[in-house]
A and B are shown apart, each in its own frame.
Chain A
């Protein structure tokens, strides 16, 4: 009887299911079609001087292993790795303070610093970093004033500059994901640990940190995938000297009009992202069951 009522209840609760699913299906179909088009392009030959693609070929993918292109892939993975790591290191304390602070002013300050940049958009945030990182920028004038350097240091057009800006761009997502994970940890766990004799640092290391690993994994993988598709930041701050996959796709597609090769780069990038994320999950799975015995 109970089962029957649950079933009929379900039907009653979801009378609009089809209505709501329809737009989602339309969107999904659109994405699938676009992806299929890109995949299809990636397997076509490039006809120089023409926007039309030639016959089917695997030549585009074979060209990817040329050092020039392979290098960009490796650089991108490396930049993503560093960005995700630094974002975690900067974001964790912010998320922790956001969740644990009693002071409302402190909470709002953290929210403003860490989360509102999300609404500014990548381009605006990147321009603000040009103001900070430029030769006459804020950072250099500080260093000069403090006498730490004699001449302006080169931050623009360096990997350092790109990663710094990317960390800032990625930080809001990281903080939101970590804060969500941290706020779901019942405070009684920390209280129990304290009552058993653990000081604040040991409570953090043995209870809070291990229990937040799902959030760390989610945050790092999201930051990684988020950064992998970065375009405006490496374009503006890297200025052609620091190239990530998206910049290469742009150059090939819109400077050389080699659509088939740009498409194969995109597909390769997508596959690589999935591969790296799968690898990270596999590497992190023992972390999800940290043993403390």
Chain B
């Protein structure tokens, strides 16, 4: 899928054979097969210098495969991979200068923390005093100074993760690859590690490819997100653009919570259309509605925070019965049965301070649209 023009400039440049010189990592038409399974299907991806690019997609969509191709653990059937403008498609992993952090960290159990972090430096035959200095710097960077002599198994999960990060960064890699690094951590630790990773990545300015299947993690960390499904990139853009302007139905439902509401196409005006939902009207782009005629049914995707409890019936998009009210601190999640627009429950996310006026479960309410722009797809 092509990205929005605004964000796809480097990709356009890379159409030629040497255009990828502008990208830190460039994949051009890369295909990887395992027997009959096509794990990646003619994928092109251009990562800019210093950016944190997230590969987001469901399990089995090819994220790890893509990372392993960049790292050199796999060779593609076709296509080219370049780093800093140099073709490395068949350069072995140990000559690629890439730092990688594995999901289970893969710390060498028979080496100390210092032994692990210094491994890449020893392989480069760097002088001992410099190795020691760089190990100390790297451990200070990840806030683990003083644990040099510990064994990996004597560390907590969070500490092991930091060692793995230090080990990958100490070689000053051209690219840092992270494969679902936070999936094994508990929720609180995950959040603080995310912030820390982002800080370290900014500070060092290292080009980073981050793999996750967790859309909220992708939204909070990334400079840009590549949404992948079935071995293809569906959309590549900033978190905000991907969230607000998903390119297709898959992206719209995979990223963030979305209510799918039965509406109909009322008017087409060039590139945009007007969709009617009850008494409400909302503008949607026509690009996702190719071929739909005026009057036909469409699926309107509305974020929970774009729905409100209507004060009056005048602008009501739908009516429903409150099924459950879940207090989330800053906001309240309202689950509403509204059979006229959705077979499932409709989710409204309202700020807590507005909730005081709400009535308990079982009361009938009118739902209004809080946004005048949304996205719709042809009814499935």
Contacts and interface: CB of A to CB of B under 8 A. Distances in A.
Contacts, number: 77
A158 to B, nearest CB: 41
Interface stretch (B9-17, B98-106, B365-373): B98-106
Given A195-B99, A292-B111, A186 B123 contact: no
B94 A191 contact: no
Nearest to A210: B110
Interface size class of A (residues with CB under 8 A): 20 to 34
B120 A292 contact: no
A197 B109 contact: no
B92 interface: yes
A220 B48 CA distance: 53
Contact of A290 (B68, B110, B118, B124): B110
Interface in A184-221: 186, 188-189, 191-199, 202-203, 206-207, 210-211
A198 B123 CA distance: 6
A291 interface: yes
A289 interface: yes
A194 B72 contact: yes
A290 B94 CA distance: 23
| Interface range on chain B (Cβ under 8 Å from partner) | 20 to 34
B102 A292 contact: no
A195 B110 contact: no
Given A290-B110, A292-B108, A293-B112, A196 B71 contact: no
A192 B111 contact: no
A211 B108 CA distance: 9
Nearest to A288: B110
Given A197-B94, A197-B120, A192 B100 contact: yes
A199 B112 CA distance: 21
Contacts of B92: 194, 199
A197 B72 CA distance: 12
B205 to A, nearest CB: 20
B165 to A, nearest CB: 12
A80 B86 CA distance: 56
Given A188-B104, A292-B110, A197 B124 contact: yes
B93 interface: yes
B73 interface: yes
A293 B114 CA distance: 7
Looking at A186, A207, A291, A293, which has the most chain B CB atoms within 10 Å of its CB?
Answer: A293
A199 B91 CA distance: 12
A195 B95 CA distance: 8
Given A186-B104, A188-B106, A189-B108, A195 B98 contact: yes
B96 A195 contact: yes
Contacts of A207: 108
11 contacts: A188-B102, A192-B102, A192-B167, A194-B72, A195-B99, A196-B120, A197-B95, A207-B108, A290-B110, A292-B108, A292-B111
The 3 closest A-B pairs by CB, nearest first: A196-B120, A197-B123, A188-B106
